[in-house]
Amino acid sequence: MNELSAFMGIDVSEKRGLAVALMGRDGQPLDALWLRSGSPEDTRCRLERLLVRHALCPEEIIAGIDAPRRPLPAPRTWNWDGGRQRWQPLKAGCSGFGRHCEIVIKAHKLANPQWTPVLEQCPGWMLTGFALFEHLGSLIRTVEVFPSASYRQLHHAGFRLDIMLDGFSLGPKDMLDAFVAAATVREYIQGRGVLVGGGDGLGGIALPRPLDPLIPAVMLWPAG
């Protein structure tokens, strides 16, 4: 896994489309572009052309996508009690939205997730993300990232990020998140980060650094 040649970051926006950043093995920026519209199949084809332009084989690249991998099949029945540092049955009146990986992020105070709901209540940008994981996953490896959590982890880490300004005027924060997504998956794949969550079978989130301090109990999904 450490022999990958490039890392892609994709930020998903319902209104503006996909901000895409491509980063080399050493962290140098290679490309930045917007995919404004089109079907999932069209997006996959356009990303294939991006790989061809940079002489990359699908096996040489992995993409970090800032969106949930899949929706909840049903509301969860467990909740994390941060004060008591333990899982407990979900109380009546709570939505039960949010995946294990999002609860881990919240418990460690890295960011405030947009809790993933059941499919019928997912906003458009999440639906775009689900389709992207499904169709792009048949081309290259993908991993879910959360740039807001990456910013918090790298805030005092002396971390340097090289970017290119192509496409920034169309959505500066989206494109910056795309570069941070690429950097996050690079840090994770090269052994400096971790994958958290996944105990519920709904996907994990890659982080650029280990959790510190770690809360062991929240890492274990209570339903086994």
Q: In whole angstroms, what is the distance from residue 85 CA to residue 6 CA?
A: 39
Question: Structure pTM?
Answer: 0.95
Q: Is 47 helix (H, G, I), strand (E, B) or coil?
A: helix
Which neighbouring-strand residues pair with 81?
86
3-class secondary structure, 32? strand
In degrees and rounded to multiples of 5, residue 217 shows phi and psi of: -65, -35
Q: How far apart are CA 222 and CA 220, in angstroms?
A: 6
Nearest-10 Cα torsion for 66, 120, 80, 212: 0
Full pLDDT tens readout for the chain, 224 residues:
447 999 999 999 888 899 999 999 999 999 999 998 778 888 999 999 999 999 999 999 999 999 999 999 999 999 999 999 999 999 888 899 999 999 999 999 999 999 999 999 999 999 999 999 999 998 999 999 999 999 999 998 899 999 999 989 999 999 999 999 999 999 999 999 999 999 999 999 999 999 999 999 999 999 75
- What is the DSSP pairing of strand 78-81 with strand 17-24? unpaired
Nearest in space to 20 (alpha carbons), one of 192, 206, 171: 171
Distance CA 209, CA 101 (A): 15
What is the C-alpha separation between 73 and 112, in angstroms, rounded?
22
Q: Are strands 17-24 and 6-13 parallel, antiparallel or unpaired?
A: antiparallel
Q: Which amino acid type is present at position 83?
A: G
20: enclosing H helix or E strand: strand 17-24
The pLDDT of residue 156 is 87
C-beta separation of 182 from 7 below 8 A? yes
Q: What is the pLDDT of residue 223?
A: 75
Residue type, 112: N
DSSP letters, 57-109, are: -GGGEEEEEES-SS-BSS--SEEEETTTTEEEEPPTT------HHHHHHHHTT
Task: State which fold the 6-71+123-196 domain adopts.
Answer: Nucleotidyltransferase; domain 5 (3.30.420)
